[in-house]
Structure 1
Amino acid sequence: MRPISLGVFHLATVVHLALGAAVFNWPDPLLDGLDSQLYEPSSVSIIAVNCSERDNSTVAAQWLRLAYHDMATYNSTTGTGGLDASIQFEFTRAQDVGRGMLESLNDFFQSPNEYIGMADVIGMAAISAVVACGGPVIPFRGGRIDATEAGPATVPEPQQDLASHIASFQAQGFNETEMIALVACGHSLGGVRQVDFPLIVTDDVPTGIQTFASTVGFDNRVVTEYLDGTTENVLVVGSNITTRSDFRIFSSDGNATMQSLASPETFNKVCADLIERMVNTVPSTVTLTDIIEPLDFKVQDTSLYPQGGSLVFLATLRIIETGVNRTVTMFWKERTGTFCPPAGCSIPVMQVLSESSSLLAQLKGVAGFNRHSFNASIDLATSISHFWFEVNNNDGSAPFIVNNNGANYTIDQDVLVYDPQRTLATFVPGSVERLVVGIKGPSVPTNVTALTTVAGNETVPFTTKAINTFELDSSFTPTDGYTFYSSPFDFAGGVIPLSHTIRATINETEYSVWVPGDGVL
């Protein structure tokens, strides 16, 4: 996991942004985490790659269906519903039948945290599903807010008549032409499972599923096979006329829309636009970010804690791989007094690790990342106020500075610090596992607590919150001007923490530190 002390560090990145892309200014755990899940290896970016098979269908088909069913609660008149993760409370409904719903939610149950909700994860998954099966790249915006209860049961069902379908899609914000195209786009993947819909798939199917098209990937074969009469789409040619919903929808304008989608290029463009609209259909009270593109430079894995007579400061600068043999140096300045030279204290990189990028990142031209890690020893007396980086491409060009768009990466306090090393020391067999923080100075703090976001499970997929209290920990001797407090946590009991916001009131001032995951580096 990557400890990031937001209450301690105000970091940001210099980014070569595409027009209209979100600007990343630290601390921003939302954009930071979404960038990582979209463009680095993650559950969202890996599981569906190569249109991977599951349950005689594909993971991608399940993810795209989940996203639509979640969005289908939207009411364009009231501005309520939409892609808000209410599906976590709805997947047992008859209209949401199918084990793929819960399987998909279980794919994601460790992906949210305090800042990234399940709704954003479902949106990212829909986009990843399309590219994983060879479909178009779709822009992603973040900032969705999770619902706390089920939405209305408004998912269209195959036995409904055309007027009902038109009304449902109109409520979701799609006109009749867009309804036809969105159904075709969605039914490019997957099919109808006999065990879930025995009144639709009435013939014996060896695999247990009747696919919408003859190909597995995301393409317009669902359209061309419909137009040339070779389709086996059971929602078009099934023996149960009542449930031929695709036929009613596709033919509702005399096949004009389907004929326009016979061009693969048109199909991809229309589907990219409509699926983007689908995942961006959110309650009117929610404002999404600008489009999130891969960040050229991103600070990660930051931590500040006392050890051996100094402050250890860890930081990593992730840089998009471009084939350049870079030299990266980290600089910092004191918080109080004088210790560093006028140009700042500096340290060379400790190690450089190569990291692969996701398929989506590769389709955007990002072959991989280089992670430049630093381990600085900071003087206890003067501490650290801010830091920055100098990057030399060693190609004859002038070195350049990465410094939060000119504002530097600011460390706004060193009074409350998360201590990863002492936390690790508590993770031994037979011991109580604890999160450990250090508090500077002789003052006795009050209300040292952690708001912990806890992962769901295979039965209850949604996250929950827990408050954990820190107490003075006598097993750690006060040192380097810090006293140590710990909070027990049942990591081994099947409870999976996704993030912690640790707060303490010291001399009537509140300090906070944000730590993702289980607190282990």
Structure 2
Amino acid sequence: MYMCRLSANSMNSEQAFSSTCSTIFQKMFRTVPSTVNLTDNIDLVPVKVTGVQLTIGSPELQFQANVRLQLSSNHTTVTMYWCDRYGSGANCASKLKRFTAPSTSAPVSSPFSTTMNLTLQKYQFVVPLAANQSISKFWFEIDYGNGTTTVANNNGAFYNIDQDAVLFVPSQSRPKAVLSGSNGVFIAAAVKSTSTPSRVYVDWIGRATKNFIAVNGTTDLKLNSSIPSVAGYNFYTAEITEEYGASMQFDVISVQQNGTSLADTYKWDTLIGLNTPAETLVNSTTSSAAGGASGAIAVAAAGPWTWSVAAAALAVLSAAL
């Protein structure tokens, strides 16, 4: 124990800590046999889209999306654009696009971004959508305030919304009680009233269990007439009472009469009960084709810093620790 305290005290300065870590990593990589192939460079993704959710708002649809950027200027502005799914402007016909400013923005960080002296900012968008327009795809235009404008459109493929026939509705759902394992999570989904599904269900998996063994299951949702229809959608609900652990990931699936299925995928129970920012004003333009302004560039998944790892190297480090 005395020797452990001596070792820890010898690294109590930032310079000593950095030097020691550098030496350990150098020894680690020199231990890896020369025949081991390291992975390709792992690059910082300059534009990271998260938290995408098309759901039921009041009294229409609501769309939410977050985008995390690496900032090169304190004067950066971000605009989200999208195409309608229905109507005369479907898929940005006649160059019709909708756009809005973010509801909120906040700095974000990680040990890597701090070490590499990177400035990251997350922008959150929340917009109302008319059900007879909906949304088919979206993208972002980034003005860095220094003469540089970039279009983040998933390398020309856009960020697509696959369907709007079945939607998870966090605002009508209820979270699991924190201290009681007997109470389940109440899940609500919205299904278009023009649809007559043969089955609506949740396919779920829980990983953070007491014994660290993942559990999974399916739970059928039933039509809930006590919740009034909104924007042409009926609500289906159920309570999942199985012990799934601290968190649950799930898909909401609607099986059609012809046997095909539609799904709202990769949802988390942690979305339930979260307060979303106020919706922002929706604007329209026909100034340019879908994809951004003239002269803008597509964002590739590349960044100013890179690092490589290998499974063997990590194994050596784990053994050393």
Normalized against structure 2, the TM-score is what?
A: 0.68
Instruction: State yes or no: 1:515 paired with 2:307.
Output: no
What corresponds to 1:393 in structure 2? 144
What corresponds to 2:249 in structure 1? 499
Q: Could you tell me whether the CA contact under 8 Å between 2:208 and 2:244 is conserved in 1?
A: no
Shift of residue 439, structure 1, vs aligned partner: 0.8
| Aligned pairs (5 A) from 1:119-130 | none
Deviations 1:9-36 (A, max 9, x none): xxxxxxxxxxxxxxxxxxxxxxxxxxxx
Larger Rg: 1
Distance 2:224 2:30 in 1: 55
Aligned length in residues: 257
Q: Could you tell me whether the CA contact under 8 Å between 2:221 and 2:236 is conserved in 1?
A: yes
- Residue 410 to residue 266, structure 1, CA distance change in 2 (3 Å): same
Shift of residue 218, structure 1, vs aligned partner: 11
- Residue 217 to residue 315, structure 1, CA distance change in 2 (3 Å): farther
Distance 2:22 2:119 in 1: 28
After superposing the two structures, state which structure 1 stretch, 302-311 or 481-490, moved more.
302-311
Which amino acid letter does the alignment assign opposite residue 331 of structure 1? Y
Instruction: State yes or no: 1:216 paired with 2:17.
Output: no
Shift of residue 404, structure 1, vs aligned partner: 0.7
Q: 2:172 aligns with which of 416, 422, 429?
A: 422
For 1:361, what is the secondary structure of its paired residue? Answer: helix
For 1:215, what is the secondary structure of its paired residue? Answer: helix
| Aligned pairs (5 A) from 1:71-470 | 207=1, 211=4, 214-216=6-8, 267-272=24-29, 274=31, 292-339=42-89, 342-355=95-108, 357-363=109-115, 365-397=116-148, 399-424=149-174, 433-458=185-210, 460-470=211-221
Distance 1:392 1:441 in 2: 41
Deviations 1:479-506 (A, max 9, x none): 2111111121349x78323311222212
Stretches of structure 1 that go unaligned for 5 or more consecutive residues are: 1-206, 220-262, 282-287
Q: Could you tell me whether the CA contact under 8 Å between 2:175 and 2:269 is conserved in 1?
A: no
Deviations 1:158-205 (A, max 9, x none): xxxxxxxxxxxxxxxxxxxxxxxxxxxxxxxxxxxxxxxxxxxxxxxx
- Residue 443 to residue 217, structure 1, CA distance change in 2 (3 Å): farther
Q: Could you tell me whether the CA contact under 8 Å between 2:105 and 2:123 is conserved in 1?
A: yes
CA RMSD of superposed structures (Å): 3.7
Q: Could you tell me whether the CA contact under 8 Å between 1:389 and 1:401 is conserved in 2?
A: yes
Q: 1:481 aligns with which of 232, 242, 250?
A: 232
Distance 1:510 1:305 in 2: 18
Distance 2:57 2:229 in 1: 11
Distance 2:9 2:250 in 1: 40
For 1:445, what is the secondary structure of its paired residue? Answer: coil
Shift of residue 449, structure 1, vs aligned partner: 2.1
Shift of residue 507, structure 1, vs aligned partner: 3.5
Normalized against structure 1, the TM-score is what?
A: 0.43
For 2:25, what is the secondary structure of its paired residue? Answer: helix
Distance 2:227 2:114 in 1: 46
Shift of residue 349, structure 1, vs aligned partner: 1.6
What corresponds to 1:179 in structure 2? none
Q: Could you tell me whether the CA contact under 8 Å between 2:205 and 2:244 is conserved in 1?
A: no
Q: Could you tell me whether the CA contact under 8 Å between 1:450 and 1:500 is conserved in 2?
A: yes
For 2:217, what is the secondary structure of its paired residue? Answer: strand
Which amino acid letter does the alignment assign opposite residue 390 of structure 1? E
Task: Name the one with the larger strand percent.
Answer: 2
Tell me the percent identity: 22
Deviations 1:95-125 (A, max 9, x none): xxxxxxxxxxxxxxxxxxxxxxxxxxxxxxx
Q: Could you tell me whether the CA contact under 8 Å between 1:452 and 1:497 is conserved in 2?
A: no
Q: Could you tell me whether the CA contact under 8 Å between 1:352 and 1:372 is conserved in 2?
A: yes
Q: Could you tell me whether the CA contact under 8 Å between 2:254 and 2:261 is conserved in 1?
A: yes
Shift of residue 351, structure 1, vs aligned partner: 1.3
Distance 1:290 1:455 in 2: 30
Q: Could you tell me whether the CA contact under 8 Å between 1:496 and 1:518 is conserved in 2?
A: no
- Residue 396 to residue 302, structure 1, CA distance change in 2 (3 Å): same
Task: Name the one with the larger helix percent.
Answer: 1
